[in-house]
Chain A
Amino acid sequence: MSSEPHNDSFVVFDHVQKSYDGETLVVKDLNLRIGKGEFLTMLGPSGSGKTTCLMMLAGFETATHGEITLDNQPINRVPPHKRGIGMVFQNYALFPHMTVGENLAFPLEVRGMGRDEREAKIARALDMVQMGKFANRRPAQLSGGQQQRIALARALVFDAKLVLMDEPLGALDKQLREHMQFEIKHLHESLGITVVYVTHDQGEALTMSDRVAVFNDGVIQQLAAPAELYEAPQNSFVAQFIGENNKLSGIIEEIADGRARVRLATGETIDATPVNVREKGQKTLVSIRPERVEVKPEALPPGTQTIEAEVLEFIYMGDIFRTRLRVAGSDEFVIKSRNAQGQRQLRPGEKIRIGWAPQDARALDPL
């Protein structure tokens, strides 16, 4: 894999399994190494096991099988308060009966830290999230974004080496969420802490992470850097889950030298790059990103295959045009083109030919 820059294994999940009822596995044989200073995101739909993994790491759930180590120390039997892991919760969990300052003092007090040292650390942590003036407010007097910052400061104030975040931005509106994404990212970079971040928002995962672990059905489907995840999904689930994706189902007609020819339902054939298909006659789902589809075949290298399409809908979205087409019997084929000088606006009913570079069409397992 292209991105394995973290040679050390700060957090290790070694063959971890988790079952709540003794009948089904929520986490199935998880193996994961997280490097020191890495920002790793666990991404997946709800019920995919990502939050359970985080809770096992935090110590609120015990692994049914397998070992979790933190800084080479096995922590399965270490209670949560002795793990020294900072955590930001989904609804912030700021103590409502304490002021912001008291909330931040709490982890320092339970560590028996002296008053002066405490004050200094609290002031530093609050400045870090630009909330220095709010130490005497109650959480209820703060907006969602401000509470978020305080929760972050509280998780960082006791110098935790590892910070866990459980969908921390879920309750914020879009603009604030995007702003906070960058702030968290910058804090991560400037403090050099290790962050394990759980979210179901793929945009968030791609923006912030060094590496993303895509969870589904208790298994990591793919663990890769954001670009690789988007450009080279390893299976249909990842292709579907990350970003927008067009899928065309067909049968492998020829497969050789990293090239596959796929016959679609309507009888047309296209070229694709085989990813997890092996032999002729196999069913496949070809995945193509909407922005990689070319509506002017003359712009493609000569010899590239094109395919007929009928325009069904054209949406003007400002920076891009979004056009829905009927391709090979599917009405859900979407293309996105940049609103560039001279870009043509297609009309519904128009018949055009579209094409793409063969490496952008990935032949994956049928879903």
Chain B
Amino acid sequence: MTAAHQTLTTADGRPLKAALVRAQRRARRRAFLLVAPLLVFVLLTFVIPIGQILYRSVHHDGFSANAPAVSEWFAATAPGTEPDEAAFAALAADFKAMQAARTAGVAATRVNYTLPESRSLFTKTARSADDLVPPYREAFLAIDAKWASPAVWQAMRSSSSAYTGDFYLASADFERAEDGSIHRVEETQRIYVQLYLKTFALSALITVICLLLAFPVAHLLATLPMAKANLLMILVLLPFWTSLLVRTTSWIVLLQSQGVINSALVAMGVIGDDGRLPMIYNQAGTIIVMTHILLPFMILPLYSVMRVIPPGYARAARSLGATSWTTFRRIYLPLTLPGMGAGAMLVFILAVGYYITPALVGGADGQLFSNMIQFHMSKSNWSMAAALSSLLLVGVLILYWLYDKLIGIDNLKLG
């Protein structure tokens, strides 16, 4: 080796780097082939559906595709422009085409999202599409006087573009006025923001209760001898092996006003017969049952972390002069942080998206955001459901980012 920066070569003169790549290529290819099925699976079942949801939340071409002529007119005029004869003529042409293709319902659905109760106006007009002869404005007004309403035209205008932020506006309790300006909906109609916040607050509460309940259990599991710990572990996992529906309904049996707990309390004289506690079909029911269902998700990561904390640390702290409380606070608790973080993360994310349990036991005030998503899905309003889902996703991602900032994502141990 004469020059210091001469490239290293193998014995037969090939560059060392190239030889290394060649030698590792086979192993790399094998590793890739092993993960390929999972990669495909994740792509098909996760990335694509989420992409679809995000797309649907901003895209709906029910109106723009079926009423191209009037959509063009909207595109050419400024928001708030009074519809002129040309606009009515374009709309008439669209209605005739829609009546022929029987797609008026699809377009009406899209407009209906923006302006409720406008569906009947569309179907009625479509049925009478043959009567639409010039002068078109008068012909439309003859079918229904509502065609003069600026609200209808504003609704059509916002539907005239396939890409729209209207669903997000609605999710944030905003709406467009007749002149196209954005303002909050009436106070009595605001539901989403409040429900969104309530969902996160309830999930946080459930996470805290789970943590408080799981910590001693996990500690016991981690310190008991193996045989006893295994038995206890089966008890922890037993609910896992039972159907979610069965568990939820068994809570109904326990908690309802004529249920086991209330009857027992009445029998013991703790409460009067007319003072039975409302523990289900309300927020309390949602909290109780979801805490129970999500508890194992907190216990398991905590247990896996606690099990590997050597008892020597606690002993060392004690011998150094710390009381048992100080030892717990300064030594044991910080060492369990990765488990607490993982458990809290699991429980919180699951709770935020929970739907069956609140639907069954939540009553009116125990509903969560997912129930609203489900409501829109049942009404086939996929775009609205998608917008709400995206908001939920964003909320979780923000919390995840916060967690990383505050505690650090390396401090997460799932098992």
Contact of A84 among B321, B322, B331 (CB under 8 A): B321
In the complex where A96-B335, A106-B330, A110-B326 touch, is A85 in contact with B319 (Cβ < 8 A)? yes
B310 adjacent to A110 (CB under 8 Å): no
A86 adjacent to B310 (CB under 8 Å): no
A-B interface, 10 closest residue pairs, ranked by CB to CB distance from nearest: A93-B316, A107-B320, A93-B312, A87-B319, A80-B318, A110-B322, A97-B334, A110-B321, A81-B321, A81-B318
Contact of B320 among A59, A96, A97, A158 (CB under 8 A): A158
Contact of B335 among A89, A91, A97 (CB under 8 A): A97
Of A82, A97, A158, the most chain B CB neighbours within 10 A belong to A97
Task: Determine if B328 is an interface residue (Cβ-Cβ < 8 Å).
Answer: no
Minimum CB–CB distance from A67 to chain B (whole Å) comes to 21
Minimum CB–CB distance from B413 to chain A (whole Å) comes to 13
> What is the bound-complex CA distance between A84 and B318, given in angstroms?
10
What is the 8 Å Cβ interface bit string for chain B, positions 330-371, against chain A (1 contact, 0 not)? 110011010000000000000000000000000000000000
B310 contacts across to A, CB distance below 8 A? 91, 93
B316 adjacent to A60 (CB under 8 Å): no
Task: Determine if A111 is an interface residue (Cβ-Cβ < 8 Å).
Answer: yes
Task: Determine if B250 is an interface residue (Cβ-Cβ < 8 Å).
Answer: no
A58 adjacent to B319 (CB under 8 Å): yes
A87 adjacent to B316 (CB under 8 Å): yes
Number of B interface residues in the complex (CB < 8 A):
19
> What is the bound-complex CA distance between A86 and B312, given in angstroms?
14
Task: Determine if B191 is an interface residue (Cβ-Cβ < 8 Å).
Answer: no
> What is the bound-complex CA distance between A98 and B228, given in angstroms?
33
Of B315, B316, B330, B337, the most chain A CB neighbours within 10 A belong to B316
Task: Determine if A261 is an interface residue (Cβ-Cβ < 8 Å).
Answer: no
Given contacts A80-B315, A93-B315, 15 further A-B contacts (CB under 8 A): A58-B315, A58-B319, A81-B318, A81-B319, A86-B319, A87-B315, A87-B319, A89-B316, A93-B313, A96-B335, A107-B321, A110-B321, A111-B321, A154-B320, A164-B319
Query: Which residues does B use to contact A, with CB under 8 Å?
Result: 310, 312-313, 315-324, 326, 330-331, 334-335, 337
Minimum CB–CB distance from A59 to chain B (whole Å) comes to 8
Task: Determine if A237 is an interface residue (Cβ-Cβ < 8 Å).
Answer: no
Q: Can you give 12 contacting A-B residue pairs, CB < 8 Å?
A: A58-B315, A59-B318, A80-B318, A89-B316, A90-B312, A91-B310, A91-B312, A93-B315, A95-B316, A96-B335, A97-B335, A110-B322
Q: Residue of A at shortest CB range from B331? A: A95
> What is the bound-complex CA distance between A94 and B310, given in angstroms?
11
B331 contacts across to A, CB distance below 8 A? 95
> What is the bound-complex CA distance between A106 and B315, given in angstroms?
13
What is the 8 Å Cβ interface bit string for chain A, positions 146-167, against chain B (1 contact, 0 not)? 0000000010001000001000
> What is the bound-complex CA distance between A154 and B320, given in angstroms?
8
> What is the bound-complex CA distance between A83 and B320, given in angstroms?
9
Q: Residue of B at shortest CB range from A96? A: B335
> What is the bound-complex CA distance between A96 and B411, given in angstroms?
13
B323 adjacent to A81 (CB under 8 Å): yes
Minimum CB–CB distance from B309 to chain A (whole Å) comes to 10
A164 contacts across to B, CB distance below 8 A? 319
Minimum CB–CB distance from B18 to chain A (whole Å) comes to 36
Query: Which residues does A use to contact B, with CB under 8 Å?
Result: 58-60, 79-87, 89-91, 93-97, 106-107, 110-111, 154, 158, 164
A110 contacts across to B, CB distance below 8 A? 320-323, 326
B318 contacts across to A, CB distance below 8 A? 59-60, 79-81
Minimum CB–CB distance from B50 to chain A (whole Å) comes to 36
B315 adjacent to A60 (CB under 8 Å): yes
In the complex where A81-B322, A97-B335 touch, is A106 in contact with B312 (Cβ < 8 A)? no
Minimum CB–CB distance from B268 to chain A (whole Å) comes to 41
> What is the bound-complex CA distance between A310 and B313, given in angstroms?
56
Minimum CB–CB distance from A10 to chain B (whole Å) comes to 18
A89 adjacent to B334 (CB under 8 Å): no
> What is the bound-complex CA distance between A110 and B331, given in angstroms?
12
A158 contacts across to B, CB distance below 8 A? 320-321
A111 contacts across to B, CB distance below 8 A? 321
> What is the bound-complex CA distance between A79 and B327, given in angstroms?
13
B319 contacts across to A, CB distance below 8 A? 58-59, 80-81, 83, 85-87, 164
B324 contacts across to A, CB distance below 8 A? 81
B313 contacts across to A, CB distance below 8 A? 93, 95
A154 contacts across to B, CB distance below 8 A? 320
B323 contacts across to A, CB distance below 8 A? 81, 110
Of A58, A79, A87, the most chain B CB neighbours within 10 A belong to A87
> What is the bound-complex CA distance between A97 and B322, given in angstroms?
17
A106 adjacent to B334 (CB under 8 Å): no
> What is the bound-complex CA distance between A93 and B317, given in angstroms?
9
Minimum CB–CB distance from B351 to chain A (whole Å) comes to 28
> What is the bound-complex CA distance between A93 and B334, given in angstroms?
15
Minimum CB–CB distance from B332 to chain A (whole Å) comes to 10
> What is the bound-complex CA distance between A81 and B322, given in angstroms?
6
Of B321, B323, B326, the most chain A CB neighbours within 10 A belong to B321
> What is the bound-complex CA distance between A84 and B319, given in angstroms?
7
B320 adjacent to A89 (CB under 8 Å): no
Of A90, A91, A93, A111, the most chain B CB neighbours within 10 A belong to A93
B322 adjacent to A106 (CB under 8 Å): yes
B322 contacts across to A, CB distance below 8 A? 81, 106-107, 110
Q: Residue of B at shortest CB range from A102? A: B330
In the complex where A60-B315, A91-B312, A93-B310 touch, is A106 in contact with B335 (Cβ < 8 A)? no
A79 contacts across to B, CB distance below 8 A? 318
A60 contacts across to B, CB distance below 8 A? 315, 318
> What is the bound-complex CA distance between A20 and B319, given in angstroms?
22
A84 contacts across to B, CB distance below 8 A? 321
B335 contacts across to A, CB distance below 8 A? 96-97
> What is the bound-complex CA distance between A60 and B324, given in angstroms?
12
B316 contacts across to A, CB distance below 8 A? 87, 89, 93-95
A58 contacts across to B, CB distance below 8 A? 315, 319
> What is the bound-complex CA distance between A164 and B320, given in angstroms?
12
Minimum CB–CB distance from A252 to chain B (whole Å) comes to 50
B312 adjacent to A89 (CB under 8 Å): yes
Minimum CB–CB distance from A91 to chain B (whole Å) comes to 6
Contact of A89 among B315, B321, B326, B337 (CB under 8 A): B315
Minimum CB–CB distance from A110 to chain B (whole Å) comes to 5
> What is the bound-complex CA distance between A158 and B330, given in angstroms?
18
> What is the bound-complex CA distance between A86 and B315, given in angstroms?
11
> What is the bound-complex CA distance between A111 and B331, given in angstroms?
16
> What is the bound-complex CA distance between A87 and B312, given in angstroms?
11
Minimum CB–CB distance from B77 to chain A (whole Å) comes to 66
Q: Residue of A at shortest CB range from B309? A: A96
> What is the bound-complex CA distance between A85 and B326, given in angstroms?
17
Q: Residue of A at shortest CB range from B411? A: A97
B320 contacts across to A, CB distance below 8 A? 81, 86-87, 106-107, 110, 154, 158
Minimum CB–CB distance from B202 to chain A (whole Å) comes to 32
> What is the bound-complex CA distance between A94 and B331, given in angstroms?
10
> What is the bound-complex CA distance between A85 and B319, given in angstroms?
6
B315 contacts across to A, CB distance below 8 A? 58, 60, 80, 87, 89, 93
